[in-house]
Amino acid sequence: MSESKTPTARRPGAWRLGTLFGVEVFVANSWIFIAILIAVVMAPRVDQVAPGLGAIKYLAGLVFAVLLYLSVLLHEIAHAVMAKRFGLPVGAITLHFLGGMTEIHSESKTPGQEFMVAVVGPLTSIAFGVGSLGLLLATDVTGLIALVLEALATTNIFVGAFNLLPGIPLDGGRVVKAAVWKLTGKPDTGLFAAAWGGRICAVIAFVSPWILRMLGVTTGLTNFLLSAMVALFIWGGASSALQIAKVRRSLPTLSARALARPTITVPDTMSIAEAVRRAQSEGVGAILTHTTTGEVSGVVSEAALSTVEEERRPWQAISSVARSIAETPTLMADIPGAELLRVLGTQPAAEYLLVESDHQIFGVLMSSDIEAALAKI
């Protein structure tokens, strides 16, 4: 793993390993906890195959934890390489408590891309597990090496199969999304199906210890706690995806024109008190300022206005709480909902100036009004 030529700042709660295939790799601090847990769980098995090691048996467990997470890294790198192959921008890979996450900063353009990026990770894990098992069976290794190969085979095959479960945030959820997208031609419908699949998987994960106990399988407190954590993780990811799907489905109805506030334009030398009085009397929700030549010069900021005390308003000019037109993002009044959300992410601002195709001012769009509309979806 080579060092990046331009290292990024350390992420809170994680430390940077370096880069692999041009992708930065981070390890969350929570990994230390899971590594210690793996070392403790593995210790009795290490004692069985290599008795007399004493405290070194925990070191052997830590070595296995490192090897296990290297296989998880291989799983995530497979996602990243496939995404890059399709021209999708890839951010960083983070290894954390429950495995790993690859940041892909763009949606797949086709169901086929979605399927390939999703399925390659689990298939890589399964292939690694089968390879470890094959190496174990094809050689005469014993002791710790045999234990490590057996554990790597078991965990990777399990991780691969688990990730193929049909629900977001698991990779299998993205496979479901791709399949439904292919059948319906609607990626948002695929996301809905995958999100509900994730919720079903979460419920199954939560009740699985009770089902196993009913079938006569011994389950301890650790099984219940681990199942609960996995269920919460899947449920949270599925719920987030479901909300995103709802927002996307409602984007065509998100109208900047309908949300825009009508404006009043006042001289930039007018007092705040008088400008607010005129706005209230005319029933408008936004105030613009103009110069002595009549040129629109600024958009009054609600946040700045709220900080001015009432007794000062008759004496303070409205221009003191206005952002200049040059600093205010300007949008077309008929901007589509999806594009509007993209602008919110790439050009965050409290106020946006809406204009018609002939550049006449239509109104002012407040980000708070957009957020309120999204909250109702």
| Phi–psi pair at 73, nearest 5 degrees | -60, -40
The answer to whether the predicted template modeling score (pTM) of the entire model surpasses 0.75 is no
**Integer Cα distance of 312 and 321 in angstroms:** 12
Q: What is the mean pLDDT of residues 71-84?
A: 94
Whether the per-residue pLDDT at 255 is higher than 50: the answer is yes
pLDDT tens digits, residue range 223-239? Answer: 788 888 889 989 999 99
Would strands 330-332 and 351-355 be described as parallel, antiparallel, or unpaired?
parallel
Whether the per-residue pLDDT at 376 is higher than 80: the answer is no
Between vectors from CA 57 to CA 56 and to CA 62, what angle results, nearest 5°? 95
pLDDT tens digits, residue range 307-356? Answer: 999 999 999 999 999 999 888 889 999 888 877 877 777 778 889 999 99
Superfamily per CATH, domain 256-375:
CBS-domain (3.10.580.10)
**Integer Cα distance of 179 and 191 in angstroms:** 10
**CA 60 to mean position of chain CA atoms:** 35
Cβ count near 88 (within 10 Å): 17
Domain layout of the chain by residue ranges: 1-160, 165-250, 256-375
